Structure 1
Amino acid sequence: MTATAHLYEIFIRAPRERVWQALVDPDDTVQYFHGTRFDSSFEVGAPFHNVVVDGERLAVDGIVETCSPPHRLAITWHVNYDPEMAAEPPGRVEWTLTPANDDGSVTRVTLRHGDLALSPKTWAHVKLGWVAILDSLKSLLETGTPLPAVDDDVTDTDAGVIEGNWHRAQAVTANNSVWEYLDGRDHSADDADELLQRAYAAAYHWRRATGSTAVNLARASWLVSRSHAVLGHGDVALHHADRSAQFVERAGGEAADFDHAYAHEARARALACVGRRDEALDAYRAAEAVEVADEQDRSIFDGDLQAEPWFGLDR
C-alpha cells in the first residue's frame, strides 16, 4: 500500500561513529551511494548537494535541517537527475543512528524519506534505490567493499496508480474514523467540526482513489449526509442524500442491495430533519422494504436505520 513516506531499518556491524562518518564523508559516499558524493558543511541551514563524481552533475539538492552527530541527520531532498522528478516538490530524508547492543559494536540505522504525498514519481523511483544504498553501506562497513551495481529501476511504475493507491488508503482511514463521532453523543462545536472534516476527507479521497466506482461515491455521499443529519443540518443532508441516490443509480448492478436501502434511509432522515414528515415516512418505509439478502448486512442496516436522530418522526 502506498504511503507518503518510505521507512527502512537495518543493523550494521559497526559503531555509530563509523556509520556517521560514512554518511558525511564524500570518500565513503562515493563508494556506496551510486558514485556520488555529499557536498555540505552539514551545519543547520547549510545547503546540501549530492553530486555525481563523473561529470560533476548535481543529482540532489537540499537544506540541512538537523545535524546531531553521531545520532541524527535530516535534509530536504529535491531530485535533479530526472526532469519529471525535478518538477516535484522536495521531500525530507532523515537518518537516525542508535547503538543496537551493549558494547556499541552494532548500529541500528533508521532511514525515513517523507513528505512525498505530492511527489509520486520520486516515491516510486527511490523505493528500491534506498534499499540498494543501505545494503551497499552495510557491505562497505562490514566487509570493506560496497555492493556492485544492482538493478533498482522501478521507473515503469505508473505514478498515477501510486497516487491513487495513496488516496484509497486515506479514504479508508478517514471513512472508518468518522464512526468514532457517530456514536450517539451530543456534539460540541469541536466535535461537529471534526466529524464533518473526517466525512468530507473520506469523500475527497474516494473520488481520487484507484479503483473508485460510483458505489464508493454513493457510500461517501451517504456518510456526509448522515454526518450533517446528526448535526441537524437538514438541507445539506438532503442534498448529499440525493447525491448518494444518484450514484447508486449510476452504479447499476454494481450497487449492493443494501446500497439502495441506505439511499432511502439517508433521504428519509434528511427529510425528517427539515420537517417534511410525510415524505420522510414514505422514504423510511421504502428503506425498510428493500430486501437485503445477507443476514449480517441486514442486521447492520437495521441497526443504522433505528439509530437516532429521527427528529420525532413517528415510525
Structure 2
Amino acid sequence: MTKETTSFVYVTYIASTPTKVFEAITKPDVARRYWGHDNVSDWKPGSRWDHIRDDDEQAVEIVGEVIEVSPPNRLVITWANASQASDPASYSRVIFEGEEYDNMVRLTVVHDELEVGSGMAAGISKGWPLVLSSLKSFLETGSGIDLSAKPKAA
C-alpha cells in the first residue's frame, strides 16, 4: 500500500540576487545566521547533506541526498529526520527555485512527497514560513528573525 502524500509550497520575493539566495541556502556559515543550522554538503548530485544545529550539541537533525544542483537557480534535495535516515519511506523532497524578478528574486520552495498527517508535514508547514521569512530579512537587512518567537496570548 502506498502512502498518501501532500505538498507544501511557499513563494517569497527577496530584494537580492539568485547567487546570494543560493549561497544563503548552501553555505553553512551563511545559513546559520538566519536558520540557526549549517547546511553541510559538497552540493554534488548523489552527495549526502546534513542539517546541523548551530549550538553546543551540533546535532544533525535532518539528512538527505543532493538530487539536482543548477546554481544559482535550482537545488533539489531529499529530506528526513536524522532518526529515520535508514528508512527510505521517511524521505520527502525539497525543491528550491530562484528566478530573477525585476530587482528581486522570486524564490519558490516546494516540499513534497510528505506523508499526509505526518509529524514532518505538520512541522514543515510551520517551519518553512519562519525560515524563509528569516532568509528574506537576513538578505535584505543583514539580520534574520528570531526563529524561537511565539505568538502572543490574546
Query: TM-score w.r.t. structure 2 length?
Result: 0.86
| Structure 2 unaligned blocks of 5 or more | none
- State the partner residue of 1:143: 141
C-alpha distance in 2 between matches for 1:43 and 1:72: 13
| Structure 1 unaligned blocks of 5 or more | 154-315
**Number of residues of Structure 1 aligned to a counterpart in Structure 2:** 146
**RCO higher in structure (CA 8 A, sep ≥6):** 2
1:138-287 to structure 2, matched below 5 A, reads 138-151=136-149
C-alpha distance in 2 between matches for 1:116 and 1:6: 8
Q: 1:43 to 1:84 in 2, by over 3 A?
A: closer
State the one-letter code of the partner of 1:43.
K
Secondary structure, aligned partner of 1:42: coil
- State the partner residue of 1:61: 63
C-alpha distance in 2 between matches for 1:152 and 1:77: 25
Quote the sequence identity (%): 28
Query: 1:140, CA displacement in angstroms?
Result: 0.2
State the one-letter code of the partner of 2:140.
E
For 1:61-93, what per-residue CA distance to the aligned partner results, in whole angstroms no more than 9, with x for missing partners? 10000000001000000113xx68997611001
Q: 2:84·2:90 contact (CA, 8 Å) conserved in 1?
A: no
Q: 1:49·1:61 contact (CA, 8 Å) conserved in 2?
A: yes
Secondary structure, aligned partner of 2:13: strand
C-alpha distance in 1 between matches for 2:39 and 2:113: 21
- State the partner residue of 1:44: 45
C-alpha distance in 2 between matches for 1:8 and 1:17: 19
Q: Which has the larger radius of gyration?
A: 1
Residue number among 69, 76, 79 corresponding to 2:81 in the alignment: 79
State the one-letter code of the partner of 1:28.
V
State the one-letter code of the partner of 2:70.
S
1:114 aligned onto 2:102: no
C-alpha distance in 2 between matches for 1:84 and 1:47: 15
C-alpha distance in 2 between matches for 1:62 and 1:133: 18
Q: 1:79 to 1:118 in 2, by over 3 A?
A: same
For 1:183-235, what per-residue CA distance to the aligned partner results, in whole angstroms no more than 9, with x for missing partners? xxxxxxxxxxxxxxxxxxxxxxxxxxxxxxxxxxxxxxxxxxxxxxxxxxxxx
Query: TM-score w.r.t. structure 1 length?
Result: 0.43
Task: Give the aligned CA root-mean-square deviation in angstroms.
Answer: 2.4
